[in-house]
Amino acid sequence: MENINKPIREYSNIELLDQIETAVLRSLKREAREELDARDLTIKERKELEAQYSLFQKNREKRKEEPLTKEEWWSFFILPFFIPTFGHPDEFRDDDFSVSEFERYKGYGFDKKLKQAKELRILGILFWVLLIFIAVLVYKII
């Protein structure tokens, strides 16, 4: 779970439990446990939290394998030139939609969507290059 620049006291209970369960550093686990303990949850609230966390984990796993929707597919295929290149961002390009979508896919664990979007970008570029090439050939023949 992405909690960049977010103080531990602002974490939700589920985020704290996730930090306790998944953090690599012991200091982060300890901080999260201390914060969760400081919230004085009742036994009933703790059980509800654990049930919610179980659902949270299932949804996280489901997100990893969720494919692009038809609308997302078309936007990445038809508009590939507006999608930033990974590893080589264009400083002069202002493409909020594509940047935000790729950041969302990375941040929330949509692994399959991210992979498909990258592939569709390449296929979209090939499609437009081929279309322009065919149009030039037809124009020269006529």
Encode pLDDT of 46-94 as tens digits.
Answer: 999 999 999 999 988 888 888 988 888 888 788 766 555 555 555 555 5
What is the pLDDT at residue 54? Answer: 94
Reported as a pLDDT band with limits 50, 70 and 90, residue 36 is: very high
On whether the pTM is more than 0.75, the answer is: no
Quote the tokens at residue 72.
């997302």
Residue 83 has a pLDDT of 54
Q: Between 70-78 and 111-141, two packed helices, what is the crossing angle to 10 degrees?
A: 50
pLDDT tens per residue, range 97-129: 666 777 888 887 888 988 998 888 888 889 999
Q: Buried b / exposed e across 72-98, counting CB within 10 Å, b at 16+? A: beebbbebbebbeeeeeeeeeeebeeb
- pLDDT value at residue 30: 94
Overall average pLDDT of the 25-41 stretch = 93
State the angle between helix axes of 111-141 and 96-107 in degrees (0 to 180), rounded to the nearest 10: 150
128: left (phi > 0), else alpha (psi -120 to 50), else beta?
alpha
Measured CA to CA, the distance from residue 20 to residue 39 in angstroms comes to 15
